[in-house]
A and B are shown apart, each in its own frame.
Chain A
Amino acid sequence: MVKYAFYTGCVSKGGAPELYQSITAVAPKLGLEFEELEGAACTGAGVLTERNEELADTLNARTFAMAERLNLPIMTICSTCQGVMSQANHRLKTNPGYLQRVNQHLAVEGLKYNGTATVKHFMWFLAEDYGLTNLQSKVVRPLTGIKLAAFYGCYVLRPTKDLEYDEHPERGEYLDQIISALGGVPIDYSGKTKCCGFPILTMNEKNSVTMSGNHMMEVKELGGEAMVTPCPLCHLSLDGYQPQAGKIKNVQIGMPIIHLPQAVGLALGIPPQTLGLNKHIVSTASFVGRVRS
């Protein structure tokens, strides 16, 4: 058993409960034990950082301090949470004066961040700690022959300098590698590392869904059968707003959008219902059917 302080993020407890459901089902199969950080606040998703960096960093330092107290590394299941936390952690770890000031803010609650927290996305854990060969050996229902498009989410890709790409230069390829390990066929397409459009959904829906629509149509044209994402915000955009994207593109796109833990869980033999694959806006039946057959 490997134990992590589990940071759920807001979305897996809100708009994408199937993500929470699937990670909880998958974790024990991988020997993962979670201690959920129930008192941790939202990372600010970048929105708070742009309003007030010190406030956002303090909220994240608060989460880091909670994990330090448990003496556990943090696990995230959201590209955005991961990116925001990585950036905040980088600023706090490299600037002792700043960390000290932030700790003064945290003192009221009796918390202190010592700058030792590590934050790891579930995707990074699979590739770096669990190991892809190990994962492959656990697969009982391989995704054989299924063409799957990885969609990473901006925050785990850029800026690379805050995401430890120097130490882990392959972080931008893990999702494709995991798809292969599960038996699937990763497809190469230009939208893979681009933006899902979610951050501007309420500011400019047309641009937002044109972006997501472009990616899904590209995948469709290349014969992709589903898209897999480690980011619930990308999921909200690609799945939740797929009807609107279809409207702009004048087609019914019909592209199943799968959360990473759902794809892993399915290959590990967990029933689709348990993984919440029935809780999507766009039906996942075509994908799930392919895995069964």
Chain B
Amino acid sequence: MKVKLNVKRFDPEKGSRVYFQKYEVDMDDQATVLDALIHVREYVDPTLAFRCSCRSAICGSCGMRINGMAGLGCKTKIFQVAPNGEEINVEPMGNMKVLRDLIVDMGMFWDKIRAVEPWLQPTGPEPEREHIVPNQAMIDLTVAMNCIMCGSCVSDCTVMEVDKSFLGPAALAKAYRFVDDPRDGHTEERIEKYSKPGGIWDCTHCYFCVQVCPKDVAPMDRILDIREAALNAGIKNNNGSRHSDSFANSVKISGWLDEGRLAVESHGYTNIPELLPLIPVGLRVMMAGKMPSPIHHKRPGSKYVKQLFEKLEG
């Protein structure tokens, strides 16, 4: 099978030029993008730089952007991304500094992981032998444990693109792994810490990390798991949980969303500095001739919605 690659290249030793280079190689039908890159390096162009090791989606070193989406070169079959022999775009991962060709500086990635304190912090007397936990308690954690630290989720995270202080999907998925570990003794402190700016409430639900993660960690879902734990633990002194509570309350009472109230309640009724900027927003809406009615009517049958909330939120 003919494989056409279009690889983004950059070599700081040769100046600041970033350019795309095309390669055409002959590969086996089952070949992966990484196989093709290795072939290029071995037989066509020894200057092409990229990381790899296991070639079986275990080590996490071959993260790269293939046709615009992050993923593992060794897990992406050529026929999946170029079923009709199309050219395949290969670029380094995003959100991290490119060192050379497809190699990025993962320093920021590891800093974030370290920042969530990814080690067990038990309290109480040390058990004589190992900690014994029921299997059931560990099942939810196994998903997060599957992470191989490839950086794909961080590469495509839309919030990290605009704010490097965001802890990001990989670190927060790792954080969840300890929040939910029955052996850990600092669950509340952890949740408090992860609820701060740059933490769980800054994720924008874009699903990029879920889509690109090669190990089905679904980092966003793990972030939402920590949010749920935060709400259950009553760690609520932030706009994120106020927004969540107000949203739920509005649907509970009326069956649907009261947007005006949601905007105010998310900031908190007494938070004047954050509420003042809402005034021009409201004025603009009024000028556009679409101020919603000040009375938020209930949807027909909303009493049943309320009953469902009472039964299930219990």
Asked if B162 is at the interface of the complex by the 8 Å CB criterion, the answer is: yes
A278 and B289 within 8 A (CB): yes
Closest to B226 in A: A50
B259 and A11 within 8 A (CB): yes
CB distance from A158 to the nearest CB of B (A): 4
Asked if B158 is at the interface of the complex by the 8 Å CB criterion, the answer is: yes
Q: Identify A281's interface contact among B210, B284, B305, CB under 8 A.
A: B284
CB distance from B66 to the nearest CB of A (A): 15
CB distance from A112 to the nearest CB of B (A): 14
Closest to B251 in A: A42
Q: How far does the alpha carbon of A183 sit from the alpha carbon of B207 in the complex, in Å? A: 32
Known: A158-B206, A195-B158. A10 touches B259 (CB 8 A): yes
CB distance from A12 to the nearest CB of B (A): 11
CB distance from B64 to the nearest CB of A (A): 17
B267 and A202 within 8 A (CB): yes
Asked if B108 is at the interface of the complex by the 8 Å CB criterion, the answer is: no
Taking CB atoms, residues of chain B closer than 8 Å to A11 are: 257, 259
B308 and A105 within 8 A (CB): yes
CB distance from A64 to the nearest CB of B (A): 14
- Interface bits A14-26 vs B (CB < 8 Å: 1, else 0): 1111100000000
B248 and A41 within 8 A (CB): no
Q: How far does the alpha carbon of A42 sit from the alpha carbon of B259 in the complex, in Å? A: 12
Asked if B169 is at the interface of the complex by the 8 Å CB criterion, the answer is: no
- B residues 260-312 near A (Cβ < 8 Å) are 262-263, 266-267, 280-281, 284-285, 288-290, 292, 299-302, 304-305, 307-309, 311-312
Which segment of B70-78, B96-104, B238-246 sits at the interface? B238-246
Which segment of B3-11, B25-33, B181-189, B196-204 sits at the interface? B196-204
B299 and A281 within 8 A (CB): no
B259 and A15 within 8 A (CB): yes
Which of B166, B202, B299 has the most chain A CB atoms inside 10 A of its CB?
B299
Taking CB atoms, residues of chain A closer than 8 Å to B284 are: 240, 243, 281
B202 and A207 within 8 A (CB): yes
CB distance from B121 to the nearest CB of A (A): 26
Q: Identify A200's interface contact among B159, B228, B288, B309, CB under 8 A.
A: B159
Asked if A47 is at the interface of the complex by the 8 Å CB criterion, the answer is: yes
Q: Identify A47's interface contact among B244, B255, B305, B309, CB under 8 A.
A: B244
Taking CB atoms, residues of chain A closer than 8 Å to B201 are: 200, 203-204
Q: How far does the alpha carbon of A198 sit from the alpha carbon of B280 in the complex, in Å? A: 18
Q: How far does the alpha carbon of A125 sit from the alpha carbon of B262 in the complex, in Å? A: 32
CB distance from A262 to the nearest CB of B (A): 14
A211 and B158 within 8 A (CB): yes
Q: How far does the alpha carbon of A279 sit from the alpha carbon of B292 in the complex, in Å? A: 12
B244 and A38 within 8 A (CB): no
A279 and B288 within 8 A (CB): yes
Known: A202-B243, A202-B263, A202-B266. A207 touches B292 (CB 8 A): no
A207 and B239 within 8 A (CB): no
Q: How far does the alpha carbon of A42 sit from the alpha carbon of B166 in the complex, in Å? A: 30
B255 and A48 within 8 A (CB): no
Closest to A17 in B: B290
B244 and A105 within 8 A (CB): no
CB distance from A239 to the nearest CB of B (A): 9
Taking CB atoms, residues of chain B closer than 8 Å to A278 are: 288-289
CB distance from A98 to the nearest CB of B (A): 13
Known: A38-B300, A109-B304. A211 touches B256 (CB 8 A): no
- What 5 pairs between A and B have smallest CB-CB spacing? A158-B207, A202-B266, A195-B206, A50-B224, A10-B257
Taking CB atoms, residues of chain A closer than 8 Å to B240 are: 203
CB distance from A253 to the nearest CB of B (A): 14
Asked if A86 is at the interface of the complex by the 8 Å CB criterion, the answer is: no
The chain B residues found within 8 Å of chain A, CB to CB, are 158-159, 161-163, 166, 197, 201-208, 210-211, 224, 227-228, 231, 238-240, 243-244, 247-248, 251, 255-259, 262-263, 266-267, 280-281, 284-285, 288-290, 292, 299-302, 304-305, 307-309, 311-313
Which of A39, A240, A280 has the most chain B CB atoms inside 10 A of its CB?
A39
Known: A15-B259, A108-B304. A279 touches B202 (CB 8 A): no
Taking CB atoms, residues of chain A closer than 8 Å to B309 are: 55
Q: With contacts A39-B255, A279-B289 known, what are 10 further pairs, Cβ within 8 A?
A: A15-B292, A42-B256, A62-B304, A109-B304, A155-B207, A158-B207, A202-B243, A203-B239, A204-B202, A281-B285
Taking CB atoms, residues of chain A closer than 8 Å to B302 are: 41
> Can you name 6 A-B residue pairings with CB atoms under 8 Å?
A46-B205, A52-B228, A58-B312, A155-B207, A210-B163, A214-B161
Taking CB atoms, residues of chain A closer than 8 Å to B203 are: 200
Q: How far does the alpha carbon of A82 sit from the alpha carbon of B211 in the complex, in Å? A: 17
Q: How far does the alpha carbon of A38 sit from the alpha carbon of B301 in the complex, in Å? A: 9
CB distance from A163 to the nearest CB of B (A): 10
Q: How far does the alpha carbon of A55 sit from the alpha carbon of B243 in the complex, in Å? A: 18
Taking CB atoms, residues of chain A closer than 8 Å to B267 are: 202
Q: How far does the alpha carbon of A278 sit from the alpha carbon of B288 in the complex, in Å? A: 7
B266 and A52 within 8 A (CB): no
A105 and B311 within 8 A (CB): yes
Taking CB atoms, residues of chain B closer than 8 Å to A47 are: 243-244, 247-248
CB distance from A159 to the nearest CB of B (A): 5
Q: How far does the alpha carbon of A12 sit from the alpha carbon of B255 in the complex, in Å? A: 15
Asked if A88 is at the interface of the complex by the 8 Å CB criterion, the answer is: no
B248 and A51 within 8 A (CB): yes
Known: A51-B231, A197-B204, A207-B202. A108 touches B307 (CB 8 A): yes
Taking CB atoms, residues of chain A closer than 8 Å to B259 are: 10-11, 14-15
B247 and A48 within 8 A (CB): yes
Q: How far does the alpha carbon of A49 sit from the alpha carbon of B220 in the complex, in Å? A: 13
